[in-house]
Amino acid sequence: EIVMTQSPATLSVSPGERATLSCRASQSVSSNLAWYQQKPGQAPRLLIYGASTRATGIPARFSGSGSGTDFTLTISSLQSEDFAVYYCQQYNNWPSWTFGQGTKVEIK
């Protein structure tokens, strides 16, 4: 099983600042990686797939990069609605998908 490790566990950022979240895979997942955002009491929302492609309706301030084992989600200028938990998920290891443990982005 591919293990996905996210860092940091918690990221404290001021509104308007840039946030950089990391996700590392225990073995290569190529570009088969997605990012999800989850707010309290809500279902996760797809942000990014294919490591760097924004899902429909996702603002341009969200961007994804990386391939192989190291990936980054960048939020260029944090808005109040962006404070949430973010999960990466690999879908390269057929047939099993795995999620990272999540990074909580909180207000500094």
**Amino acid residing at 45:** R
Q: b/e map of 7-19 (b: 16 or more CB within 10 Å)? A: eeeebebeeeeeb
The residue among 14 and 56 lying less far from other proteins, judged by its C-beta, is: 56
CA 69, 14, 17, 62: dihedral to nearest 10 degrees? 50
Q: Which of 2, 13, 72, 91 binds other proteins (CB under 8 A)?
A: 91
Q: How many CB atoms lie within 10 A of CB 26?
A: 14
Among 30, 67, 76, 101, binds other proteins (CB under 8 A): 101
Any contact of residue 43 with other proteins (CB under 8 A)? yes
Which tokens hold the place of 8? 């940091």
Site pattern 45..84 for other proteins (x: CB under 8 A): xx-xxx--x-xx----------------------------
**Site residues (vs other proteins, CB under 8 A):** 1, 32, 34, 36, 38, 42-46, 48-50, 53, 55-56, 87, 89, 91, 94-102
